[in-house]
Structure 1
Amino acid sequence: MNIENAEKSDHPKLLDIWEASVRATHDFLKEEDLQELKPLILEQYFDAVDLRCAKNNKGEILGFCGVHDGAIEMLFISPDARGKGVGAFLVAHAIKEQGVTKVDVNEQNEQAKGFYLHIGFSVIGRSAVDGQGKPYPLLHLALLKFSTLQ
C-alpha cells in the first residue's frame, strides 16, 4: 500500500468511496443530508484540503484523507478495505508528514470515535451541531499523548 496525492481525475472515485463509507458508518444521517453534501464534497470540499489517497499495488484507491491546518477534515475508507489498516496508515501519514494534531468526529459515529481514541486522540470539546449547522453533534479530538501510530 502506498500514499499518493489525489488528482482531480480521482475525485469521482473518491466521491464513490465517500458515499459508500458514509452509508456504512453514518446511519444517523438523513438521505436528504447525504444528497445535499455530495455536490459540496465534489465541487468544494475536495479542493479545500490537502488530499491524499491510499492505493494498493494495483493502483486501486482504498481510501483517502483530507487535511487542512493541522486537522483531518475527511477520512473515508472503501467498505471493502475497512478493518484492514488503511485508515491507520492514512492517519499515521497525516500525523508524520502533514502535521496533524486534531480531528472532529460525529458523536453518533461510534466506530470513528473508537478508532481515533484507540490511536491516541483525546476528546477536548463538543459542538451541538456539525459544520453545516445540522443537529449532528461533533466531538473535537486532539493528539495529546504519544500516538500508537508514531
Structure 2
Amino acid sequence: MITIRLSRPEDGARAVDIWRAAVDATHDFLSPADRRAIDAEVADFLPHAPLWLAVDGQDTAIGFMLLDGGRMEALFIHPDHRGTGVGRALVAHALAQHPGLTTDVNEQNTQAVGFYQRLGFRPTGRSDTDGQGRPYPLIHLRHETAR
C-alpha cells in the first residue's frame, strides 16, 4: 500500500538515493560531466526541500514529488517501483490540490514524456535548454483539466 506524506529531515538521504537511481535508469542522455554537476546540485538542495513522498508499508520512501504552487518541479520514482502506480499516485495527489498542474519534462526522456501524456498532460511549449542552460530540451506541459 502506498501512502503519501510530507518529507521530514531524516528523509533527505533517501530522497537523494531515489533521485540518483531514477536518473541512472532514465537519463542516459546526460553527459558524464553534466550528470556529476547536477548530482552535486541535487545533493545540496534536495535533503532540505519540502517534498511529497510516496512511502511503502514500512514508511520507506519509494518516490517523491516537489511542488511549487501549481507547478510540479520534480517527480522521481525508484526504479524498483516504476510501473506500480507510485508516480500516478503522486500526480493524482498534486492534481487534487492544483487541477491546472504544470511541469516540464526532458524531451529525451521518452518514457517520462509518454507517462505524462497518458495522465492527461499536453504540451504548451518547448525550450532548447534545461533550466540551467544545459543542452537538454524541455517540453512544457499542463494538465488538460486546466483548459
Q: CA deviation at 1:99?
A: 5.3
Count of residue pairs brought into register by the alignment: 145
Distance in structure 2 (CA, Å) of the matches to 1:132 and 1:77? 22
Q: Which runs of 5+ in 2 are unaligned?
A: none
Distance in structure 2 (CA, Å) of the matches to 1:139 and 1:128? 9
State the percentage of identical aligned residues.
43
Question: SS in structure 1 opposite 2:17?
Answer: helix
* 1:1-150 paired onto structure 2 within 5 Å: 1-45=2-46, 47=48, 50-97=50-97, 101-145=101-145
Question: SS in structure 1 opposite 2:135?
Answer: coil
Q: CA deviation at 1:92?
A: 0.4
Q: Deviations over 1:69-109 (max 9, x none)?
A: 31111100011000000000000001113556101000000
Q: Deviations over 1:32-90 (max 9, x none)?
A: 11211122113235545x41100011111110000113111110001100000000000
Distance in structure 1 (CA, Å) of the matches to 2:134 and 2:66? 21
TM-score (norm 1): 0.90
Question: SS in structure 1 opposite 2:129?
Answer: coil
What amino acid does structure 1 have at the position aligned with 2:67? Answer: V
Question: SS in structure 2 opposite 1:22?
Answer: helix
Q: Which runs of 5+ in 1 are unaligned?
A: none
What amino acid does structure 2 have at the position aligned with 1:123? Answer: P
Distance in structure 1 (CA, Å) of the matches to 2:123 and 2:47? 26
Distance in structure 1 (CA, Å) of the matches to 2:75 and 2:56? 17
